[in-house]
Amino acid sequence: MMQPILPIPLAAALAAGAVSAAARHLVRDSRTDAPQMINRLSGAEGSGQPESSAPRKKNKPDEAEGSGPSESSAPRRGNSFLSGEGAEARVSYAPRRGMLRVGIPRFMRILGIVAFAFLLNLRIQRPVPDRDAEFRNIDVLFVLDDTLSMYAKDGRDGKTRMADAVSDCQHIISRLGGGSFGLIKFDNQSLILAPFTQDADNVNDAFLAVQQPDSYYAQGTSLNVPYEDMEELLLSSSKKEDRKCFVFFLSDGEITDGTSLSSYAALARYVDGGAVLGYGTAAGGKMTDGYGYPIRDPETYAEAVSRIDETSLRQLASDLGVDYIAQTQQSNVDAELRMIEASAESIRGNGRTVIYEDTYYYFAVPLFLLLVWELVLLIRERRL
């Protein structure tokens, strides 16, 4: 399992910045070392010291004595060595030598920083057998209404209905730990955010994907949208041996697209319990868009008000064969949870039970050491 720690654009930006810094170091170091090498070579030749112990060749016989040294035998001083063929080779070699001595190690360090940061961001996990884990033989399916009306601000303590619904789901997960959980959310269309899984953290993370729909995207509410996805997951649960399935349908019950509620009675045979949880008030609540502006009725241009429709919610609960609970307080669902806990059987894990452990610390330690190394070098070179 891999879950990124940093958003992908941020990780890409960090990697690009590190590669750019490596390139700048590479060019700067090669440019800095080349003049230093030239000055050292120039100073050595200007002092008259030979570069090798090989004997010099004598002047040619046709050179007259006393006529002065020839152009080839005259000592070269200053930068006049650039005209020599061997010197040209040495000059052309100086940048490459500086690059090898300074640029490549730094370049490799920065590449290491990028690589370890990338692996850290992947959040790689390894499977580990867990013999002490205790599980329950239950599947819990959440069906969450994510339409615009669920963001009306008439929830508990002035919060939105959606905030209360998500909080109640997390409360149910904590009470029924050891079971498998699934999540369906619906607005104009239905989406399975999490199939049944024993990884409760994964389901809790899936709630982060539940966002307020754009008011221009919203096309009204229909409670019939999630039927097919519910049927798919309920069928998958029914095929498991000695397994019970509980459904929690969370909605305000409001239908605004002109349709009527279809029957869910055909799914009742796959449901062993649960509840339809209602949110909102009869007085209603106003909604705002993602920018904080009030949502208005397109016909009257007055601020839109959403009200709970308990008639639809009670009909839905009757079809599924579960109770309807108005969630004016989170504790209202606790009685149902106690019944589920009493009916569930605990199963102790065996060698085939697997959990996942993070391995990011394997990459965090070398990443930290490389960063400290680079920081110390930058301070010594007085670049910070």
Query: Are residues 371 and 256 located together in one domain of the fold?
Result: no
56 lies in a domain? no
> What is the domain-level CATH number for residue 204?
3.40.50.410
Query: Are residues 238 and 156 located together in one domain of the fold?
Result: yes
Alpha-carbon distances, residue 225 vs 11, 195, 212, 301 (angstroms): 37, 17, 17, 28
Collapsing DSSP states into helix, strand and coil, what is residue 356?
Answer: strand
Q: Which of 308 and 97 is assigned the larger pLDDT?
A: 308
Total structural domains in the chain? 2
319 lies in a domain? yes
Inter-residue contact 179 to 140 (CB < 8 Å)? yes
116 lies in a domain? yes
Confidence of residue 139 (pLDDT cuts 50, 70, 90): very high
- For residue 171, which of 198, 197, 140 has the smallest C-alpha distance? 140
Residue 80 CA from chain centroid, whole number: 60
Domain span at 363: 1-46+86-124+359-384
Query: Are residues 373 and 254 located together in one domain of the fold?
Result: no
310 lies in a domain? yes
Query: Are residues 326 and 214 located together in one domain of the fold?
Result: yes
Q: Is 252 exposed, middle or buried (0-12, 13-18, 19+ CB in 10 A)?
A: buried
Kindly write down the DSSP assignment for every residue of 140-175, as one continuous string: EEEEEE-SGGGG-S-SGGG--HHHHHHHHHHHHHHH
Query: Are residues 3 and 147 located together in one domain of the fold?
Result: no
Query: Are residues 304 and 211 located together in one domain of the fold?
Result: yes
69 has pLDDT over 90: no
280 has pLDDT over 90: yes
Quote the mean pLDDT of the chain: 78
Model pLDDT, residue 308: 96
Confidence of residue 1 (pLDDT cuts 50, 70, 90): very low
Mean pLDDT of 197-207: 90
The tens digit of pLDDT for each residue in 318-352 reads 999 999 999 999 999 999 999 999 998 887 655 55
Q: Which two tokens stand for residue 315?
A: 């009909």
Beta strands 134-136 and 354-358, pairing class = unpaired
Beta strands 244-251 and 354-358, pairing class = unpaired
Residue with tokens 């039970």: 353
